[in-house]
Amino acid sequence: MTRKKSPSWVLELPLAVRPDQAKRLQAHLEAARCLSNALLGEAKKRLNRRRSDPAWQAARAIPPTRKQERNAAFSRLRRQYGFGEYAMHDYAKGARWSWIADHVDSTMAQTLASRAYQAVNRVCLGQAKQVRFREPWSGHGERGGQAQRYRHAFRVATGRGR
What percent of the chain shows pLDDT beyond 90?
A: 49
Residue 89 and residue 79: Cα distance in Å, rounded?
A: 14
Is 66 a domain residue?
Answer: yes
Residue 51 within any structural domain of the chain: yes
Residue 12 pLDDT class (50, 70, 90 cuts): confident
What pLDDT is stored for residue 1 in this prediction? 60
- What is the span of the domain harbouring residue 23? 8-160
**In this structure, is residue 3 part of a structural domain?**
no
Q: Which residues pair with 147 in a beta bridge?
A: 142
Averaged pLDDT score across all residues of the chain: 82
- Inside any domain, residue 1: no
Q: Region 48-53: what's the mean pLDDT?
A: 92
Name 104's Cβ contacts closer than 8 Å, sequence gap at least 6: 28, 31, 32, 35, 96, 112
pLDDT band at 153 (very low <50, low <70, confident <90, very high): very low
Domain count, the chain: 1
Does the pLDDT at position 23 exceed 70? Answer: yes
> Rounded to an integer, what is the distance from CA 1 to the centroid of its chain?
31
Burial tier of 139 (Cβ tally within 10 Å: 0-12, 13-18, 19+): buried
The string of pLDDT tens digits covering residues 109-152 is 999 999 999 999 999 888 988 888 888 754 444 444 334 444 33
CA–CA dist 30, 99 (Å, integer): 11
- 33 assigned to some structural domain: yes
Residue 126 lies in a domain: yes
